[in-house]
Amino acid sequence: MKSCRLVVFALLAFGGLPRGPLQAQNTPNPALLPQRDGSHDFDFLIGDWKAHVRRLPDRLNNSNTWVEYDGISNHHKLLDSNANFEQFEVWSTDKKLHIKGQTLRLYNPASHQWSIYLIDLDNGMLSLPPVVGSFTGNRGEFFDQEDYKGRAILVRYVWLDISPHSARMEQSFSPDGGKTWEVNWICELSR
């Protein structure tokens, strides 16, 4: 115990790490490590997909009535850059409901994060704020805060189960600052 106190004292007194074997045991400062380049994280999406969607229309109300849709999801790189654009169109199984949308994804090389914007061409609007986040391994998580029916909620997109022939995206809402999440949109893509 006495030797541990001496090491701590030496560190505090001399403002640095002692030379010798103790130096190899220290972990590097994460701020000094090179940042992971995530600019190609969404490359797996490029191309044409079949889309199957399950949507919970009555959100944050303890509903368990889902509506299912089928259609297409097409993704293209923009000018061979770190940005991509999605065109999405699905119809409910009874053909009575139709959803079409566009998504713009932009990579920020300084923050190493993606910003995801939903585009509403019918109303000429871009969703703000964007959903922002990154991938860790084969899982991407993206967040923003929005107003939903007069209350502030957190929104989370999660990309998972990624392979060359399939991928899954889930949207969830949290009314309690992220303590609990309700999944309200599941999109399964396949080729």
How does residue 29 score in pLDDT terms, banded at 50, 70 and 90? low
Number of domains in the chain: 1
0.75 exceeded by the pTM?
yes
Do the Cβ atoms of 129 and 144 come closer than 8 Å? yes
The answer to whether position 32 is within a domain reads no
- Please identify which residue in the block is written with the tokens 């029916």: 149
Quick one: pLDDT at residue 5?
A: 37
Q: Is the pLDDT reported for residue 19 higher than 50?
A: no
The answer to whether position 8 is within a domain reads no
Q: Is the pLDDT reported for residue 28 higher than 90?
A: no
Percent of the chain with pLDDT over 90: 76
The answer to whether position 11 is within a domain reads no
The answer to whether position 139 is within a domain reads yes
The answer to whether position 98 is within a domain reads yes
The answer to whether position 142 is within a domain reads yes
Quick one: pLDDT at residue 23?
A: 45
The answer to whether position 65 is within a domain reads yes
The residue among 5 and 162 whose pLDDT is bigger is: 162
pLDDT average, residue stretch 18-40: 62
Residues 6+ apart with CB under 8 A from 49: 72, 73, 74, 75, 167, 189, 190, 191
Quick one: pLDDT at residue 33?
A: 58
How does residue 26 score in pLDDT terms, banded at 50, 70 and 90? low
CA angle 60-66-126, nearest 5°?
Answer: 65
| Domain range for 134 | 43-190
CA atoms within 13 A on the CB side of 22: 11
Residue-by-residue DSSP string for 105-132: EEEETTTTEEEEEEEETTTTEE-SSPEE
Closest by CA position to 55, among listed 45, 65, 40: 65
CATH number at residue 183: 2.40.128.20
The answer to whether position 23 is within a domain reads no
Quick one: pLDDT at residue 65?
A: 97
